[in-house]
Amino acid sequence: MADRDASEPPGPAAAAELRNFLSEVPAPAAVGHRIVHSGPRLTGHTLIDARVRALLADVADLAPLHVTPALPVVDAARELLPDVPHVACFDTVFHKDLPAQARTYAVPERWRAEYGLRRYGFHGLSYSWALQRTAQALGRPVDNLQVVLVHLGGGCSACAVRNGRSVDTTMGLTPLEGLVMSRRSGSLDPGALLWLQRRHGLSTDELDDALHQHSGLLGLSGTSGDTRDLVRARAEGDAAAALALATFTLSCRRGIASMAASLDRLDALVFTGEIGEDQPEVREEICSALTVLGVQGGLLVPELGDLMREGLRRIDQAGRGVPVLVVATGETQQIAAETRRVLGM
């Protein structure tokens, strides 16, 4: 069953694929669904019923790359397995108790009160898993750790955790804010968007498509949003690839440093996500320029197979500064754990 993993977002054939899968495996006792955005009215992982399903549809436009394609799969699974509990597991729940100063945008009160404009934060399932593994690796309780967690993949973000709780994060109302990403721009001067609309006549749809699909590493390099491709291209003298990687790693360092500003100390820097676990060049370029935080370069490079088998590795040189860890991405395992918790299993 573990080999039956789709690498592409679900499309029109998802229901048939799910039906075929269910015909070949033991009947499940429950289904856990990753839903990126909970919106303002759902603050915990929860059973999906008609009310919850309607609330999910209402917030789909806040994470269109994620929630919109996820909902047809939720519907298909509920139709195929009507007598099995279905649980929505949200990436936003990890950040639900962000301090007011971390979740609040400096915008007019009406925007905040009537429109609900605030920071939510994402990658929470990944962060939950990585935090528990980090505590085990360091032999310290979660509630006595102050760490910066960095999820680098198609989407990228950083998070400050103080004593087991998220106290700051780089993503905001939507998963578009923050670090430079594979195809997403990350944070951008809002004045630039107004200028593009007024001076160049770009529509909302054009901006949406460009910022979500054609920016980030892809927009900078013109060739690829995959850091593996860009590392190879840079070695062959591709200046655009070199600029893309330099911009990306600077963005990551800025994000990490800003998260550290919400902590009293830095007990560890933790990488996860596909880039975080499988791109040693990126980790090295980030860490070697973070000496101001006590982080050092010269990182160890674990074999990916060993990392995936063991689940985590400490990669800093012993005695040379802040511990640096890599945790294999565990969103699926965290969904299973949260689903069991909701059902009291």
The beta strands (E) that lie in the chain are given as: 31-35, 46-47, 86-90, 146-152, 156-162, 165-169, 268-272, 312-314, 324-327
Burial of 199 (0-12, 13-18, 19+ CB in 10 A): exposed
- Active-site entry in 3, 5, 58, 91: 91
- Kindly state the DSSP code that residue 233 receives in the 8-state scheme: H
Question: In whole angstroms, how large is the CA radius of gyration of the chain?
Answer: 20
Q: Find out whether 74 and 56 touch, Cβ atoms under 8 Å.
A: yes
Contacts of 61 (CB under 8 A, 6+ apart): 68
Helix (H, G, I), strand (E, B) or coil at 296: coil
Q: How far out from the chain centre does Cα 180 lie?
A: 12
Q: How far apart are CA 72 and CA 330, in angstroms?
A: 24
Other Cβ atoms within 10 Å of 96 Cβ, number: 17
Q: At what angle do helices 280-287 and 227-235 cross, to 10 degrees?
A: 80
Judged on CB neighbours under 10 Å (0-12, 13-18, 19+), 138 is: middle
Amino acid occupying residue 133: R
Residue with tokens 């370069």: 297
Q: Is 91 a catalytic residue?
A: yes
HSE, CB side, 13 Å, CA atoms: give it for residue 183. Answer: 10
Q: What is the DSSP string of 131-172?
A: HHHHHHHHT--GGG-EEEEEEESSSEEEEEEETTEEEEES--
Give the C-alpha distances (Å, rounded to integers) separating 193 from 132, 190, 203, 268.
39, 5, 10, 36
Active site residues: 91
